[in-house]
Structure 1
Amino acid sequence: MSEQAGNALPIVLIHGLWMTARSWDRWVEHYRAKGHEVIAPSWTRRGSTQEAACR
Structure 2
Amino acid sequence: MTDKQSVFLLCCKIDKRKNTSYLSNNCKYDVFYNYVKILNLMTLLFRALFALYNIKL
Which structure has the bigger radius of gyration? 2
Q: Which has the higher contact order (CA 8 A, sep 6+)?
A: 1
TM-score by length of 2: 0.27
Whose strand fraction is larger, Structure 1's or Structure 2's?
1
TM-score scaled to structure 1, two decimals?
0.28
Larger proportion of helix: 2
